[in-house]
């Protein structure tokens, strides 16, 4: 493909992670932007695993990348591994040498990143490396986000593009792949801007027009430090493990650095494809705030039907609670309002959790049943007996929080809400802090509510 790869060509983007550690959310945001841009232009989105660093690349990291993209719903049209394309790179090395744009130089071996190896630094151990003959010129390119960017490449010197005539490294393999795969637009982090002038020089040496670049702002931690594989990296699969919804993660990542034309915050994936615009991506770094991600996740949880909620919540339910039980079917009513991710469920339903009373009634002293503003045991017993009488009149089939509230409310208003509802709440939950007594009764069911009211009345006797 030695012709212009941009003009008149179908849009092709790529996501090119290195499997040398778990990728952080900023990396997947790059993949998201690239995927969306390709879809907007009816183009192709390519996944390319850049695993030429043999010492640091690990299969487990590659598998995590594939797993994460699948979970996020980012579908790619083609898949490549650089480690399987060695022969392709050799042709370009020889071509650059033959045209005088590169030459063989004997020196201390280099690492895949182009720096001198920390091993074998003895001056007698010299190897043949391939250096690009730098024309020492100014390089100017138009970045879709940053506008015109200019570099003086003189200070770069003649830089290394291969460890040998058989082993290309980063700067060359990236370009060869982008050429061979027809990449038209490269969307990547701004930390790659410094790589761009070297790569453009190689494109020019090969007589090929470079693709269009868009360097997006870095993702920062709350302390405004750069997220990396070694600092602040949380694998996307960790969010899946904690019960985040992929739609929420995608929605949040899309708005890190990009702002729509209005203040809208919730977008489905299709809506992102329709509304996203690289021109509205900011130049400054975007701060990753997990609290905000939790807010997004909660918005998506609230939209779930009870059936959808139970299906997703099932892996997070305690062993004692069957997903098909009557109690489970009642839980979405209250859990949706209390969780930010599904992992919160285990704490809520644990022994000391706010909803722990559902499994069993905690032991409590009779004094807890007395309303603090009117601590009269005799009166509290009367109110509990009346509440029991009213609850017993409600049919099992219509025993809901709303029905129970309607049935009890008139009496509570007459006798005093605190006087009636406080002992009722404690009788049902054994806790000072819990959902209101109507919801609590609904969660444990009619028969268990009656049983617990009788228990409380006995305590006050």
Enumerate the active-site residues.
229
Contact at 8 Å (CB) between 104 and 72? no
Residue 274 to residue 40: CA distance in whole angstroms: 7
What residues contact residue 451 under an 8 Å CB cut-off, 6+ apart?
none
Q: What φ, ψ does residue 258 adopt, rounded to 5°?
A: -115, 140
For the chain, the distance separating the N- and C-terminal CA atoms, rounded to the nearest angstrom, is 91
Hunting for tokens 């605190």 — which residue is that? 418
Question: In this structure, what token pair is assigned to residue 44?
Answer: 């192709």
Distance, in Å, from the CA atom of 35 to the CA atom of 75, rounded to the nearest integer, reads 8
Between the alpha carbon of residue 26 and those of residues 23, 190, 228, 231, 286, the distances in Å are 8, 11, 8, 12, 9
Cβ count near 47 (within 10 Å)? 22
What is d(CA 357, CA 429) in angstroms, rounded to the nearest whole number? 5
Q: How far is it between the farthest Cα atoms of the chain? A: 102
Q: Token digits for 285?
A: 């770094």
Instruction: Return the sign of the alpha-carbon dihedral for residues 370, 375, 381, 386.
Output: negative
For residue 233, the SS3 value is coil
Spatial separation of the C-alpha atoms in residues 41 and 457, rounded to whole Å: 70
Q: What is the phi-psi region of residue 46: left when phi exceeds 0, alpha when psi lies from -120 to 50, beta otherwise?
A: beta
Q: Alpha-carbon distance 156 to 202, whole Å?
A: 13
Helical (H) or strand (E) element with 439: helix 437-444
Which residues are registered as beta bridge partners of 186? 213
Dihedral sign of CA atoms 346, 347, 351, 354 in order: negative
């Amino acid at each position: 493909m030695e012709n212009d790869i941009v003009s008149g060509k179908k849009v092709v983007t790529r996501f090119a992670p290195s499997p040398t550690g778990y990728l952080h959310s900023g990396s997947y945001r790059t993949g998201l932007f690239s995927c969306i841009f390709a879809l907007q232009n009816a183009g192709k989105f390519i996944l390319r695993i850049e695993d030429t660093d043999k010492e640091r690349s690990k299969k487990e990291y590659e598998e995590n990348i594939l797993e994460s993209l699948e979970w996020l719903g980012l579908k790619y049209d083609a898949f490549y591994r650089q480690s399987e394309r060695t022969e392709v790179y050799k042709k370009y090395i020889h071509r650059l040498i033959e045209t005088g744009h590169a030459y063989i130089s004997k020196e201390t071996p280099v690492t895949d990143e182009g720096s001198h190896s920390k091993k074998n630094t003895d001056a007698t151990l010299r190897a043949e490396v391939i250096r690009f003959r730098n024309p020492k010129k100014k390089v100017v390119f138009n970045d879709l986000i940053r506008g015109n960017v200019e570099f003086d490449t003189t200070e770069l010197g003649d830089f290394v593009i291969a460890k040998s005539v058989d082993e290309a490294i980063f700067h060359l393999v990236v370009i060869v792949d982008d050429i061979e795969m027809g990449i038209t637009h490269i969307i990547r982090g701004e930390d790659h801007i410094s790589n761009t002038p070297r790569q453009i020089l190689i494109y020019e040496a090969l007589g090929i027009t470079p693709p269009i670049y868009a360097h997006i702002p870095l993702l920062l931690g709350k302390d405004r430090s750069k997220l990396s594989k070694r600092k602040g990296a949380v694998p996307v699969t960790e969010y899946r493990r904690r019960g985040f919804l992929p739609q929420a993660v995608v929605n949040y990542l899309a708005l890190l650095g990009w702002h729509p034309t209005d203040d809208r915050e919730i977008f489905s994936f299709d809506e992102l494809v329709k509304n996203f615009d690289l021109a509205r991506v900011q130049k400054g770094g975007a701060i990753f705030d997990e609290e905000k991600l939790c807010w997004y996740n909660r918005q998506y949880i609230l939209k779930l039907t009870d059936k959808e909620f139970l299906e997703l919540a099932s892996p997070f339910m305690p062993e004692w609670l069957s997903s098909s039980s009557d109690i489970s079917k009642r839980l979405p009513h209250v859990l949706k309002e209390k969780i930010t991710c599904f992992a919160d469920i285990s704490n809520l339903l644990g022994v000391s959790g706010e909803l722990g009373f559902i499994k069993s009634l905690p032991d409590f002293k009779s004094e807890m049943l007395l309303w603090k503003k009117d601590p009269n045991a005799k009166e509290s017993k009367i109110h509990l007996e009346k509440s029991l009488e009213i609850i017993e009149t409600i049919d099992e089939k219509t025993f809901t929080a709303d029905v129970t509230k309607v049935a009890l409310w008139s009496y509570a208003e007459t006798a005093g809400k605190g006087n009636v509802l406080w002992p009722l709440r404690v009788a049902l939950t054994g806790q000072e802090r819990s959902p209101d007594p109507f919801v609590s009764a609904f969660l444990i069911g009619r028969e268990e509510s009656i049983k617990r009211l009788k228990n409380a009345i006995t305590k006050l006797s």
